[in-house]
């Protein structure tokens, strides 16, 4: 495929929108056609994100000002709008568009569960039926054929990649899974909130949304599908004074004689040849700084001192594999492009 893919990004003034632009700038087959940002309409991208001032990009527009003709010139839409506003927007998009939605609006298949966790009825239940959950490595074929891909949440990406193959293979107890998750602040977005100020976040650490975070049902949906029965997990997120990165320390109980080595072998085989999911040798655990800026998901494991217990650790950059990178990966799969196009960057350190 050599035709240039015309891209629209809805909600380009947030961190996820900016990261899409940064990565797509290295993509050999794409061109930015439309960037929307209602409150910043009329401004250049460089005015909103000075670090992107050198990127060739159209000015920001209000989504209401995008004409039918404009849409006709677009092939793929990345939707990075706030949760709960996205369903109505996507429902109105022309049929020829293929869509990767980075919000949570189409991630939960069961619209009742959606309503329970997101505080209101689903606004596009028919469309929901067509949405494919885009954890690329685990559902590549369905992603390839989808019109609408629901891009996974940042937290659910790592744990599902590590746990779904293990649950499917019966190596771990599905009813005793504890996910202690630690995220950098960019996962909370660019909204001006007191709790995200430098003075509030730096030099400290805390758990939040304990037993009530919206990514819990998303993880449970994936693990339940793997287990072929409903299950619950513990999921406890923490806010860490860093900008990027999610580390999940996952405590599991193994079945039978399985230990960390067994689990790593299974995962190594499962992800063999994958460009972005890397299973580390036993004894080596991933660090978020080893994936910063890249689309990598690293997975490691160690035996616990408690017999029959294993500690799994996953690391991703929440803005890349946890958002914009995986979205581009999904687009590549949808369009039959090389899966690593626009995603070949090595991590940046220090």
Beta carbon nearer to a copy of itself, 87 or 332: 332
What is the enclosing helix (H) or strand (E) of 90? helix 86-91
Residue 273's nearest CA partner among 140, 178, 158 is 140
Beta carbon nearer to a copy of itself, 70 or 180: 180
Structure tokens at 139: 């559902």
Structure tokens at 151: 């891009």
What dihedral angle (degrees, nearest 10) is formed by the CA atoms of 26, 27, 31, 37?
-70
Residue 53 burial (CB count, 10 A): 12
Beta carbon nearer to a copy of itself, 224 or 234: 234
Beta carbon nearer to a copy of itself, 66 or 308: 308
Where do the DSSP E strands lie in 68-113?
A: 76-79, 98-101
Which are the contacts of 31, defined by CB distance < 8 A and separation ≥ 6? 4, 5, 6, 7
Instruction: Name residue 250's beta-bridge partners.
Output: 179, 312
Torsion sign, CA atoms 86, 90, 93, 99: positive
Separation of CA 238 from chain center: 17
Which are the contacts of 19, defined by CB distance < 8 A and separation ≥ 6? 319, 320, 323, 324, 325
Phi-psi sector, 96: left (phi>0), alpha (psi -120 to 50), beta: alpha
Min CB(190)–a copy of itself separation in Å? 6
Beta carbon nearer to a copy of itself, 18 or 337: 18
Structure tokens at 305: 């001192």
Which are the contacts of 305, defined by CB distance < 8 A and separation ≥ 6? none
Min CB(202)–a copy of itself separation in Å? 6
Min CB(341)–a copy of itself separation in Å? 13
Min CB(132)–a copy of itself separation in Å? 27
Which residue is listed with tokens 């990009």? 57
Beta carbon nearer to a copy of itself, 91 or 207: 207
SS3 98: strand
Min CB(199)–a copy of itself separation in Å? 4
The residues carrying an active-site annotation are 154
Min CB(241)–a copy of itself separation in Å? 6
- Rounded distance, CA 235 to CA 181, Å? 7
Structure tokens at 112: 């009742």
Residues across the chain: 350
Min CB(186)–a copy of itself separation in Å? 5
Structure tokens at 86: 């996205």
Beta carbon nearer to a copy of itself, 185 or 334: 185
């Amino acid at each position: 495929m050599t035709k240039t893919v015309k891209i629209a990004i809805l909600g380009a003034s947030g961190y996820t929108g900016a990261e899409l632009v940064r990565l797509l700038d290295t993509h050999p087959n794409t061109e930015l056609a439309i960037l929307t940002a209602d409150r910043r309409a009329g401004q250049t991208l460089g005015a909103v994100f000075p670090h992107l001032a050198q990127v060739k990009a159209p000015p920001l527009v209000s989504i209401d000002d995008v004409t039918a003709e404009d849409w006709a010139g677009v092939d793929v839409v990345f939707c990075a709008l706030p949760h709960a506003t996205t369903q109505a927007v996507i429902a109105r998009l022309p049929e020829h568009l293929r869509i990767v939605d980075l919000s949570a609006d189409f991630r939960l298949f069961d619209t009742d569960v959606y309503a329970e966790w997101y505080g209101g009825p689903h606004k596009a239940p028919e469309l929901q039926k067509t949405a494919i959950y885009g954890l690329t490595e685990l559902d590549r074929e369905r992603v390839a054929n989808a019109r609408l891909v629901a891009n996974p949440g940042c937290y659910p990406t790592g744990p599902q990649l590590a746990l779904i193959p293990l649950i499917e293979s019966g190596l771990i107890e599905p009813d005793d899974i504890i996910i202690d998750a630690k995220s950098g602040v960019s996962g909370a977005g660019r909204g001006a909130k007191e709790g995200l100020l430098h003075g509030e976040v730096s030099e400290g650490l805390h758990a939040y949304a304990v037993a009530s975070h919206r990514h819990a049902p998303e993880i449970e949906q994936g693990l339940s599908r793997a287990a072929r029965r409903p299950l619950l997990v513990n999921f406890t997120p923490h806010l860490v004074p860093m900008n990027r990165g999610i580390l999940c320390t996952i405590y599991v109980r193994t079945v039978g004689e399985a230990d960390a080595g067994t689990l790593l072998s299974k995962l190594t085989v499962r992800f063999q040849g994958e460009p972005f999911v890397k299973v580390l040798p036993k004894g080596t655990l991933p660090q978020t700084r080893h994936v910063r800026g890249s689309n990598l998901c690293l997975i490691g494991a160690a035996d616990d001192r408690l017999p029959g217990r294993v500690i799994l650790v996953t690391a991703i950059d929440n803005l890349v594999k946890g958002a914009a990178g995986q979205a581009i990966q999904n687009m590549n799969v949808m369009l039959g492009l090389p899966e690593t196009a626009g995603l070949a960057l090595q991590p940046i350190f220090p």
